[in-house]
Structure 1
């Protein structure tokens, strides 16, 4: 699953994923955000998915990033990929790419850093 995420607004995003060669797009809303601590989102267009990323500072130059992502495969290809844990392997690969991207910049990307209070359930997170 390759992932591209574009900000549509302060708390809305448009995602494009590719699972087993099948491209899908969906929209999400940020439901809980505290800068430098966590960001949680859920789908807004009928897809069954939600996620949270937690950031834990280790020292002045290092941060542990933990991802929890839940989704409901809808096609045979997606179900096969999930059964073989290809989705989890791709998330790990995408996180390594994200790490490389952030480290190459040396600073954050300048996205909105406001707080969002938890506005209810985020799927099964």
Structure 2
């Protein structure tokens, strides 16, 4: 996934346009805050459900990260979550290292978003 941008600037501009008036980034900041707060919870769900062998919860958490990443334009993270979701539908074996890769991609996206 390194060829994908961390953040899609077009998605950011689309969120900016949803503000009440030009130059109002409050909606963008609200969406970013939800993403930054919720994603660590989903990452914890991935770790916990993997340890418990709970495939349904694991797949749902990966799906949630995929969707929220898309909302804020976190392309690399979203693509990784999409692949993790698809693979988890087949099995949970060997997915632990990928959770940590997903976490690293989240931290990159978080840093980039907070710098906006």
For normalisation by structure 1, the TM-score amounts to 0.29
For normalisation by structure 2, the TM-score amounts to 0.30
**Greater relative contact order structure (CA < 8 Å, 6+ sep):** 2
